[in-house]
Amino acid sequence: MMVLVTGATGYIGAHTCVELLAAGHDVVAVDNLANSKVQVLSRIRELTGRDVRFYEADILDGGQVDRIFGENAIDAVVHFAALKSVPESVAEPLRYYHNNVTGTLNLCARMARHGVRRIVFSSSATVYGASVTMPLTEDAPLAPVNPYGRTKEMIERILRDVYESDNAWSVALLRYFNPVGAHPSGRIGEDPNGVPGNLMPYITQVAVGKRQELVVFGDDFETDDGTGVRDYIHVVDLATGHLKALDRIAAGPGIHTYNLGTGTGYSVLEMVRAFERASGVSIPYRIGGRRPGDAAVSYCDPTKARTELAWTATRGIDEMCLDSWRWQSQNPRGYEAG
Ligand code: NAD
Ligand code: WQD
């Protein structure tokens, strides 16, 4: 297939491009580089021996998106492009709704105009909100607690309405749990701007001496050791999930929702210990207050993806930590060094 990947130079997008190219698909990539670096593209080429056709463009720009569809015989779209910081979304809701929701509306309108009706959408476990029983199945109630999460819920709703209006569409809504890790080569990985908001990049930056200590956000949750429990998933497993989802939507029209996680939760302190084991570096930490909006526990039931997509996550936390560490230690300044 010829696949248009939006947000292709971002963390998950880059790993997915590698897996798509390795599987023999052609990739057309679009990104406005709002949260990624163009150097990613040469790393993708280095890993796969293949080029993606890259457009530096904003999906909000209808003319540019039209041009991309006009110049390439796109079979399907994998849509990663979005802003993803929860605190930023609270501070700047208009920017988030505009970029994520309007960007997707624009993309889908151009898809329809060019007769492309297959889309894999990056949704998030964050659409579930906090107060439900674990593990989360796809039919759990949706109750996102911040503007970022609400953009994902809205886009899911929009794509359902699009399918209802035209049953020729083929849509996969993928709800990712907590992506971590990096390509095992150490050549591509997560390169956040500024202070990382997520646990794993914070840990790796402490490990390379960029940050002094990890602050654990609360040890008084109702979990075994009191710290938050999450379903961490290796980014390469996540990437292969997209290939399976593409196969599913290429097989025929419909709309399908899948959790992509391992089904196992680990606490913050378990992650710290696993990272120390994998890297041999000790991670100084102190216990701080809870972060507003944090749930005690979140992990999924991945059965639906296993039975319908024949996909399952195969990489455990040791591999996640080892690969995160390889990436960070070999690229202490991320992609900056070229
Ligand atoms: P990322 O920020 O690394 O990648 C997103 C990419 O989209 C960036 O390269 C950014 O420059 C680009 N982008 C943003 N707005 C754009 C626009 N208007 N036009 C063109 N490009 C644009 O984030 P990621 O972690 O790779 O996440 C990819 C997707 O997965 C996002 O939709 C995110 O919401 C979703 N997601 C991420 C996580 C996570 O924890 N990383 C979890 C669940 C869901
Ligand atoms: C994991 C655990 C923290 C940082 C977020 C978004 C969600 C999704 C994935 C996109 C929690 C604890 C963290 C730190 C800590 N993104 N922690 N110290 O909050 O599960 O999900 O990323 O869709 O929308 O909300 O992930 O990595 O931020 O936190 O103690 O410095 O680590 O409290 O228990 P989270 P996270």
Q: Which domains does the chain have, with CATH numbers?
A: 2-180+232-261 (3.40.50.720)
Helix (H) or strand (E) holding 110: helix 103-113
Q: Is the CB of 315 under 6 A from ligand 2?
A: no
206 confidence band (pLDDT: 50, 70, 90): very high
Regarding pTM above 0.95, the answer is: yes
Residues 6+ apart with CB under 8 A from 189: 11, 181, 182, 183, 323, 324, 327, 328, 331, 334
List of E strands, 136-280? 170-176, 178-180, 214-217, 229-230, 232-234, 254-260, 266-267
178 CA closest ligand 2 atom index? 9
Please report how the helices 199-207 and 317-330 are oriented relative to each other, as an axis angle in degrees rounded to 10.
50
Residues 6+ apart with CB under 8 A from 305: 241, 244, 258, 259, 260, 311, 312
Q: Is the CB of 149 under 6 A from ligand 1?
A: no
SS (H, E, C) 193-217: CCCCCCHHHHHHHHHCCCCCCEEEE
Q: Is the pLDDT of residue 1 over 80?
A: yes
Q: Is the CB of 199 under 6 A from ligand 2?
A: yes
Q: What is the mean pLDDT of residues 197-216?
A: 97
- Alpha carbon 60 to its chain centroid, in Å, reads 20
Say if CB 253 and CB 294 are below 8 A apart: no
Looking at the CA of 231, which ligand is closest? 2
Q: What is the mean pLDDT of residues 272-286?
A: 98
Q: What is the mean pLDDT of residues 208-230?
A: 97
Looking at the CA of 201, which ligand is closest? 2
Any idea which residues carry the catalytic annotation?
A: 148
Looking at the CA of 4, which ligand is closest? 1
Helix (H) or strand (E) holding 79: strand 76-79
Rounded to the nearest angstrom, the distance between the alpha carbon of 200 and the centre of ligand 2 is 9
Q: What is the pLDDT of residue 257?
A: 98
Q: What is the pLDDT of residue 130?
A: 74
Q: Is the pLDDT of residue 338 over 50?
A: no
Q: Is the pLDDT of residue 132 over 90?
A: no
Interval 168-181: pLDDT, tens: 999 999 999 999 99
Q: What is the mean pLDDT of residues 129-157?
A: 93
DSSP annotation of 116 reads -
Q: What is the pLDDT of residue 131?
A: 67
152 CA closest ligand 1 atom index? 34
Q: Is the CB of 205 under 6 A from ligand 2?
A: no
Distances (CA, A) of 107 to 114, 153, 283: 11, 17, 43
Interval 19-73: pLDDT, tens: 999 999 999 999 999 999 999 999 999 999 999 999 999 999 999 999 999 999 9
Q: Is the CB of 291 under 6 A from ligand 2?
A: yes
Ligand 2, residues 84, 217, 299: which to mutate, most atoms within 8 A of Cβ?
217
337 confidence band (pLDDT: 50, 70, 90): low
Q: What is the mean pLDDT of residues 183-192?
A: 97
Angle of CA points 127, 259, 193, to nearest 5°? 60
214 CA closest ligand 2 atom index? 31
Q: What is the mean pLDDT of residues 311-333?
A: 97
Rounded to the nearest angstrom, the distance between the alpha carbon of 274 and the centre of ligand 1 is 27
Average pLDDT, the chain: 97
